Structures are given as C-alpha cells and as structure tokens.
Amino acid sequence: MIIIASFPAVIWFYKFRKMMIRRQIAILKKAEEAFKPRDKRYTVHGYLVGFTGKYWVNRGNIIKAWIYYVTPPYHVFFYLPVIQALKKKERLDVTLELRELKYSGEAHIAVPGDGYVRRTLGIDLGKKKPKPVETRVNIGSKTLLAYYTNNETLDSVVKIYKELSSFQDVRRVSIDSSRRGLHISIIPRVEGLEEFLDKLIGIAESLR
C-alpha cells in the first residue's frame, strides 16, 4: 500500500523537476543576455532550490551584478501543504554595483506583510547609524513601507518602483550610496523578464 500511495509523488516529482529546471534555465539565460557579463560565476543552492549568479559587467554604469533566485520545493509532493500554509513564493533579487551614483544616503521601499523582504531588509539595515526614518508611501492604490535618510533618494526609489512595476511584481527597491548599490526584489514571471532587466539597466545608467 505504501508503494502504491507513493506513485503520485513520484510522477509529480519528475513532472515538476523538468518544469523547474526549464524555468531556472530561462531566467538564467535572460539575465546573461541582458547583462552580457565579461565573466560570471554561479553558486547552486540545494537541489532545484535556486542559485546565485555573480556577473562582472564593467560596462556603462554597472561594475558588477548579482542575481539571486530561489523557489519553494514544488517538486516535493508532500511539502505542498507547507508551501501553501507559509505562502512561500519564488524570488528573484537583482543587485547592481554602480560606477557612479548621484544620490546620497539610502532609501528603501518594501511591500508590507512580505516576510521575505522584511527579513532581507532587516539584515541590510542592521544597526546602521543614523537609523533611517521609517514611514509609509502611497503609490497608486498601494501603501508601501519606506526607510530613508535622504528625501531625494526616497523620491528616486519610488520612481524606480513605478517604472519597474509594469514589467514584474516588484516587492522591494533599495538605493545605498555607501555601497553604490541598487537592489530590486521581485516575484518573477518569465514573461516580461527581458523587458524588466533592460529597463533596470537603463535606470542604472540614469543614476550617474
């Protein structure tokens, strides 16, 4: 009986394994086509769980780019109730190290109630001094959390959020002048990802 009961799980595993591999390859290819790295390095995170890609771009205003992709283990049939209960979702984070950044201080906006971005943002904020001001910003019908040390930089991340949201489900936008960094976190769709990355590269150029 146990063997018979396991058949659906086995079928599910192979079906979703193939789908997840194809999806990761599609995301990886679109990232490489967009950034055209001169050198690259990948780190795999567990079996089918995700990867980190580090790209040495050194072109235009972008010195380096990091992409971090992680997905819940959809291929594990018996883990599906946990994924549903915890509302686990795919994530794609893109971080750019810029040659020049015309803004000072830092600013971050994030979707409230999103545990993933709250955790990652908490790590990045750490115990920084001066501590960024916490507030909320209204963008269309959405109210987002905001942390900032400079009003002009906050205005910039709000503008970036608006520009990128038409391409993907953007969950966080951050600018940190101390690292000359631009960070975006999304729940990715393969459709529209190429346009999203092209737009992001254009935004990086405008931050000189």
Which segment of 13-22, 36-45, 86-95 scores lowest on mean pLDDT?
13-22
- The Cα 185–Cα 204 span in angstroms is 15
Helix (H, G, I), strand (E, B) or coil at 111: coil
Single pTM value for the model: 0.87
- CA-atom Rg of the chain in angstroms: 19
31 confidence band (pLDDT: 50, 70, 90) = very high
- The Cα 204–Cα 163 span in angstroms is 12
Helix (H, G, I), strand (E, B) or coil at 48: coil
Per-residue pLDDT reduced to its tens digit, 130-183: 789 999 999 989 999 999 999 999 999 999 999 999 999 999 999 999 999 999
Contact 9, 78 (CB under 8 A): yes
Give CA 203 to chain center in angstroms: 16
Per-residue pLDDT reduced to its tens digit, 188-207: 999 999 999 999 999 999 99
Per-residue pLDDT reduced to its tens digit, 80-138: 555 455 566 789 999 999 999 999 999 999 999 898 999 999 988 887 777 899 999 99
Amino acid letter, 34:
A
Amino acid letter, 182:
L
Number of helices and strands (H, E) in the chain? Answer: 5, 9
